[in-house]
Amino acid sequence: MTTTATTTATKTATTKHITCWLDFVSPYAWLAFDQAPRTLEGLNYQLRYKPVLLGALLKQHANPGPAGIAPKREWTYRHATWLGHAQGCGLTMPAQHPFNPLPLLRLALSCSDDGCINRFTADAIFRHVWLGGHDASDSARIAELKTQLSKQIRPDSEDQAKAFLRTNTDEANALGVFGVPMFEVDSKLFWGLDGLPMLRAYLDGDAWFESGEWDGVTKVQSGLTLV
């Protein structure tokens, strides 16, 4: 399924194909989902959304995530809530976080023919999680969400949705996706809400990306000794 966020070109005639890797458990994925159309306004692009299991990506790198460090967990929730206020899209932490996102990821992918979801589906699920401060895992609320998405859900899609999620997560890991939201274009990865201005600069043809600085960072040696 090819997505949903194409604008009229003003700076380039070439359509850029962007993949957004996301998991609904991430508040920054909601914030970036809301912000991306404004940041990329005026460019000619096609944006597709691919759900992945964030926990599996974090586990691959032995990363507990922000919720695994108590003071960072509190700051992350505080910061994300403020950003939702400042950005104007709203964000209220759900009653429990982190939560198991599998039911929502599989529901999203039951609306897919190819492992990608459209913006309508993503928006409905993000709002289910991040607006209102409710329990994102509540079975009655998920049943209501399924009703809302009933026209999007493919027949007999349960097993296919599980397969899509495994394939998407494996593909993301192979590309080096280590967190969400992650935007990929031309084999370059841009991570997070605060990576959107950098993505915009790349799509605008900023000369920095041809200067060698992008690849130069891979030559920096680590001073950490792993034990």
pLDDT tens digits along 122-151: 999 999 999 999 999 999 999 999 999 999
Helix (H, G, I), strand (E, B) or coil at 185: strand
pLDDT, one tens digit per residue, over 28-54 is 999 999 999 999 999 999 999 999 999
pTM for this structure?
0.92
Tell me, what's the pLDDT at 59?
93
pLDDT at 9 over 90: no
Distance CA 181, CA 200 (A): 15
The DSSP result for 70-130, as a single string, is HHHHHHHHHHHHHHHHHHTS-----SSSS---HHHHHHHHTT-SSS-B-HHHHHHHHHHHH
Predicted confidence (pLDDT) per residue in 89-106, tens digit: 999 999 999 999 999 999
Q: Name the percent of the chain lying above pLDDT 70.
A: 93
Domains, the chain: 16-219 (3.40.30.10)
Identify whether the C-beta of residue 203 lies closer than 8 Å to the C-beta of residue 43.
yes
Task: Find where tokens 């505080």 sit.
Answer: 78
Residue 226 — very low, low, confident or very high, per pLDDT cuts 50/70/90? Answer: low
Q: What mean pLDDT comes out for the span 207-216?
A: 96
| pLDDT computed for residue 119 by the predictor | 98
